[in-house]
Structure 1
Amino acid sequence: MPSRRSYKATSRHGCLECRGRRIKCGKEQPECASCHNRNLMCKYQQPASVPLAWPKVKSRSSTPSLPPPAKASTSVVDPTFLAQYQDLMEPSALRSPSGELNIQDLELMTQWCTATYRSVSRNTTVECIWQAVVPREAMRHPFLLHGILALSALHLAATSNGDKREQYIRTSRAHKSQASLGLSRIAAMLKPSHCNAVFTLSNIMMIYSFALPEIVGQSPGRSALEDLYKVFVSTRESVDILANIIDGVGKGELKPLLQCDKAQPKMPDTSRLAIMSLTQLNANLARQDPCHDKEVYDTTIKHLGHSLDKVSRGGETMIIAFQWIFQVPSRYMELYRQREPFALVVLAHYVVIIHLLRRHWWMGEWSARLIQDIGQRLDANWRKSITWVLDATGYYIPPV
């Protein structure tokens, strides 16, 4: 008698009994016909659960806290990123101001990637750098990530009211503190791989310095000139760091930020006449007073002329404005602090560059307040030296 030919089941969804006997299963429910006829127990394998693409996130109100970073899965937290974080920050800095990275931090990062990045871009040509390249750098450099979150929180504060506004401001200051800490620590072991992160954070911190007084309001009894001097001092603290990395930045992905946009129409360059007038006035003052700091002013005016020229050729106004702060001699900073009339005249010409940034939420009315403050400190003769400034900005200073 010929042996019975075995049947290899073609379906993986038959009952366990039929699959074990290697016979075809009709897959009837709750038991197949084969098992029913043989009076056998019919069971089907339960389908495996399908893993979620994203894990469920519980509300912070129902979950006390996330697991500590040391226990985090390596598939979620990059060990290299975590190690760098631990090297640069104090143990307490491993947590954001309200604990671990949480829903609020995700909100701030979303704010950056959807809105805040545009406010630091001159146009669509470089928007992709601030939206994509900078966040990518932040994933490798925690101090930059804190800077991004700090500015995003301040941006949200600018459009919020009441307790929500105050909460964003507190969060912003806490992240800014961590960003400053990380930047100061990495300065001692600066590597080529840090260039982009340090450069972008330095710019973000300068924007922050302008934005904070604009959001929280000027300190009582302090003038716009005093607030600007404070911005200058805090900005110049990183001048040595930037001097060492600027060449590296110009060779990498951030190169477009340092270039002029030739596609933009060239602005009428009336600033050259203004710079010539300042140079001539500086020479006249030197002839009248042997103690006049002619060389200091010559250097300051020369850099200002280069800055205005770059702006007229479509350069990144924000970066140009910050570069001049780095370039001015320390002696000029002292003359500015002493409110020397010619130092204020030169500063008024610089304010024209700030005026071009007035539509950004973080700059606002800085230029108007500065021009008014400078105008009030100059007598009628000195005011004649800022005629071009008033024409370029459209501001009016009441007669003395």
Structure 2
Amino acid sequence: MATRRSHKKSRNGCTECKRRKVKCDEKRPSCFNCTRLSVLCSLRPAESLSAHTSPSVISSISPPVEGVALTTNESGPATSVDFTQLAIATDADRPLPFSSPAWGRELELMHHYSTCTYKTLALRSDMQYVWKTVIPEEGYNNPFVMHGLLALSAAHKAYLLPSERETYLSISAYHQSLGLEAFRPLLSEISKDNWKPMFCYASTVALYACLLPARLDKAKASAPIAEILELFRFVRGIQLVLQPFVEFLPMTRFSPLVQGVWIMNPCQMEECEPSLEESLLPKDIFEKLAKLRSFLQSNMPFTSIPDYEAAVSELVNATKLIGHAGLHVECGMVLFWPYVISETILNDIQALDPYALLLLSHYIVLLMVMEARFWFIKGWGIRLLADINVQLSNCQPFIDIVKWPSEQVYNLYKYQ
């Protein structure tokens, strides 16, 4: 494992740099890293901080939802950081590609997006149409949407062109930073008049957050479990902000993004298990999920069982969606799970609780199915399972149960 770069310890650095364990130049009123990422720096004077702090989006948009806040509490993975920084804050160490964007580079990225990238964000043609046409049209009058698309396009080129990876990742981070700069102030002002561009940008930034493994500095040590937890909290934050307007989606041109994921209604989900003959899912997955449920019921503290039972049931629902989709899976069939599980489970994952890690290991099997189809979600599964196996190495009963997801993840990894 590579060692971290050595540098003089910064004892007076800002809160964000300390959280991310990067060197802070302590420049006031905002350090270099926070300025580059458009993050509110704790080195600002107190009056400046209060002037820049807007009312909580949670209280101004909708009633509180358990476990999700735009500013995480002390039990969360970060303190005094809004959810838009989770899973994307690693880009502060990446140099800007240029002082101002050249129109030629933007034209290159938009051409790549409109001819190539959009096809890779979904498998269904109606969903691809939304990515190709509907979302870019929202960018005409909302530049932050266009920055989100350019960030995805640059990240895709980084994936396709390893020799130019760093260049395109820097460009991607640059556009994402510009998009976030305009997106954040609007979070407390979402209404029926502007929710559509907000939804579009949130969709792009959610995929960008999934790219965390691809964006990490390969020379630095990583913490996969902590990273997936950041992604989970990010997804929950996005969902909370947009929840009041989700009911409008089926009546708009964005409807394929919903219909393409929720191909079954709740009543159908309760019916018999789908055939897995044309699916990438392991043929015995329903049996193994039942075994997981039984293990949790027999071994967990009684007070914790309801939350974990519900989480396993949602895993079964995700498995049924993927099974019915056959080879035409969509990433949303897996990404909904983080925002339907309880905050208790997220806290247990953060605490490296063996039961939570065992549950997470079975979720990773579904995630690996998506890795085989979508470039932007690659890199999670194999790293996560390795980390989980290390954490459970001294827990014999758990080792036996985690053996099955480990085998499935490694088998799926071999064929990617």
Q: Does the pair score TM above 0.5?
A: yes
Residue number among 354, 360, 368 corresponding to 2:382 in the alignment: 368
* Deviation of the 1:181 alpha carbon: 2.7
Aligned residue in 1 for 2:242: 242
* Deviation of the 1:396 alpha carbon: 9.9
- 2:123 match: secondary structure: coil
Aligned residue in 1 for 2:64: none
Q: What's the Cα RMSD here?
A: 2.9
Where do residues 171-250 of structure 1 align in structure 2 (5 Å cutoff)?
Answer: 171-218=171-218, 220-250=220-250
Normalising by structure 1, we get a TM-score of 0.66
Matched, 1:384 2:400: yes
Aligned residue in 2 for 1:252: 252
Contact kept, 8 Å, 2:213 with 2:380, in 1: the verdict is: no
Letter of the 2:307 partner, please give it: V
Residue number among 359, 364, 371 corresponding to 1:358 in the alignment: 371
Closer, same or farther in 2 for the Cα pair 1:160/1:176, shift >3 Å?
Answer: same
Aligned residue in 2 for 1:325: 338
Matched, 1:113 2:110: no
Aligned residue in 2 for 1:275: 289
Where do residues 30-179 of structure 1 align in structure 2 (5 Å cutoff)?
Answer: 98-99=99-100, 102-160=103-161, 164-179=164-179
* Deviation of the 1:140 alpha carbon: 3.1
- 2:371 match: secondary structure: coil
Letter of the 1:179 partner, please give it: G
Q: Deviations over 1:118-157 (max 9, x none)?
A: 2211233422221111211222322211111111111122
Letter of the 1:244 partner, please give it: P
Structure 1 distance, partners of 2:235, 2:120, is 19
Where do residues 273-312 of structure 1 align in structure 2 (5 Å cutoff)?
Answer: 273-286=287-300, 289-290=301-302, 293-312=304-323
* Deviation of the 1:271 alpha carbon: 3.5
Structure 1 distance, partners of 2:388, 2:219, is 18
* Deviation of the 1:278 alpha carbon: 2.5
Structure 1 distance, partners of 2:276, 2:217, is 33
- 2:161 match: secondary structure: coil
Contact kept, 8 Å, 2:213 with 2:379, in 1: the verdict is: no
* Deviation of the 1:161 alpha carbon: 5.0
* Deviation of the 1:218 alpha carbon: 4.7
Range with greater deviation from structure 2 (315-324 or 147-156): 315-324
- 1:192 match: secondary structure: coil
Letter of the 2:330 partner, please give it: T
Contact kept, 8 Å, 2:106 with 2:150, in 1: the verdict is: yes
Q: Deviations over 1:325-382 (max 9, x none)?
A: 2222111111001111110111111112210122332222321121222122223421
Structure 2 distance, partners of 1:204, 1:305, is 27
Closer, same or farther in 2 for the Cα pair 1:142/1:282, shift >3 Å?
Answer: same
Contact kept, 8 Å, 2:138 with 2:200, in 1: the verdict is: no
**Identity rate of aligned residues, in percent?**
20
Closer, same or farther in 2 for the Cα pair 1:386/1:100, shift >3 Å?
Answer: closer
Aligned residue in 2 for 1:43: none
Aligned residue in 2 for 1:17: none
In the alignment of these two chains, the number of paired residues is 297
* Deviation of the 1:320 alpha carbon: 2.3
Aligned residue in 1 for 2:350: 337
* Deviation of the 1:260 alpha carbon: 4.6
Structure 1 distance, partners of 2:200, 2:364, is 23
Structure 2 distance, partners of 1:152, 1:395, is 30
Letter of the 2:288 partner, please give it: A
Structure 2 distance, partners of 1:133, 1:124, is 13
Letter of the 1:250 partner, please give it: P
Structure 1 distance, partners of 2:253, 2:276, is 27
Letter of the 2:211 partner, please give it: A
Aligned residue in 2 for 1:79: none
* Deviation of the 1:213 alpha carbon: 2.7
Contact kept, 8 Å, 1:105 with 1:149, in 2: the verdict is: yes
Closer, same or farther in 2 for the Cα pair 1:161/1:122, shift >3 Å?
Answer: closer
Closer, same or farther in 2 for the Cα pair 1:312/1:200, shift >3 Å?
Answer: farther
**Larger Cα Rg: Structure 1 or Structure 2?**
1
Closer, same or farther in 2 for the Cα pair 1:129/1:266, shift >3 Å?
Answer: farther
Aligned residue in 1 for 2:46: none
Closer, same or farther in 2 for the Cα pair 1:368/1:165, shift >3 Å?
Answer: closer
Structure 1 distance, partners of 2:412, 2:314, is 27
Normalising by structure 2, we get a TM-score of 0.64
Q: Deviations over 1:145-186 (max 9, x none)?
A: 111111111112223355x43332222112111222333222
- 1:127 match: secondary structure: helix
Structure 2 distance, partners of 1:155, 1:169, is 9
Structure 2 distance, partners of 1:160, 1:313, is 34
The structure whose RCO (Cα within 8 Å, separation 6+) is larger is 2
Letter of the 1:267 partner, please give it: L
